[in-house]
Structure 1
Amino acid sequence: MAKAKVMAGACGFTSVIKVTKTGKMKVRVQIISACQYLRSLNEDLAEVDCSRNVFGKMVDSVIYQAASRRLKHPDCPVPCAIIKTIQVELGGAIPKDVTIKIETNG
């Protein structure tokens, strides 16, 4: 199992993404979060066939399509984290942290 912890920022929610390989190119995604919209993604991502539109263009990705239907804010970093965690669980990427640091000059 691969796991990611996402501290999303202004919304104040911290989410945990757990991805478990269930077949050669299949995974189960579980999102643990106080955000009801993120939790609703669990219905769509209970079993993901990664050989079908997960890692292609963003507009075709089943992860981003589900996020588009379920989430209220397009700036949510969780869909990206889901894809990265899937990549790690399938052995296509090494576990490496991602950081977004936002500053103002004002």
Structure 2
Amino acid sequence: MEVCIFAGICGFQTKVTAKTDSEYQAKLLFETDCPNVKKMAAALDTVNVMDELFKKGQSQVMAAAQQHLPHITCPVPVGTLKAIEAGAGMALVKDVSITFSK
């Protein structure tokens, strides 16, 4: 499963590919120009789908984000988890969005 994440005001885009096998292991590949997401990506390779989605507080994706991303509101970690979830067939593929209004 491949997702494209447009992070907002920083202007960075990230493409995340989650390749899931029959053992619920997801190999993560990141394409981005964001130096912080690159650091996060370097800390991640293959993750256990069930651990990422259902063991609260034990997500490798969220731990890597907390360690390497300076902004807690960066949408890349959640987008990565959505790629894992849909790639494993545990969610229907549907775009998500955050819309601001004044």
Equivalent runs, 1:88-99 vs 2, <5 Å: 88-99=86-97
Count of residue pairs the alignment pairs up: 102
- Give the match for residue 79 of structure 1: 77
Gapped regions of structure 2 (runs ≥ 5): none
Q: In the alignment, what sits opposite 2:98? A: 100
- 8 Å CA contact 2:49–2:88 kept in 1: the answer is no
Deviations 1:37-84 (A, max 9, x none): 1112222221112233x1136533221111000111111001000011
C-alpha separation between the residues in 1 aligned to 2:29 and 2:92?
A: 20
Name the structure, 1 or 2, with higher relative contact order (CA <8 Å, separation 6+): 2
Structure 1, unaligned runs of 5 or more: none
TM-score calculated relative to the size of structure 2: 0.90
Per the TM alignment, residue 16 of structure 1 is displaced from its structure 2 partner at its CA by 0.6
Cα deviation digits, residues 13-56 of structure 1 (max 9, x gap): 1111111114421011111111011112222221112233x113
Q: State the Cα RMSD in Å.
A: 1.5
Contact 1:58 1:64 in 2 (8 A): no
Q: Structure 1 stretch 18-27 or stretch 57-66: which is displaced more?
A: 57-66
**Structure 2 match to 1:21:** 20
Work out the CA distance in 2 between the residues paired with 1:57 and 1:99: 25
Q: Does 1:10 align with 2:9?
A: yes
Alignment of 1:14-53 (within 5 A): 14-52=13-51
**AA at the equivalent of 1:74:** I
**2:62 corresponding residue in structure 1:** 64
TM-score (norm 1): 0.87
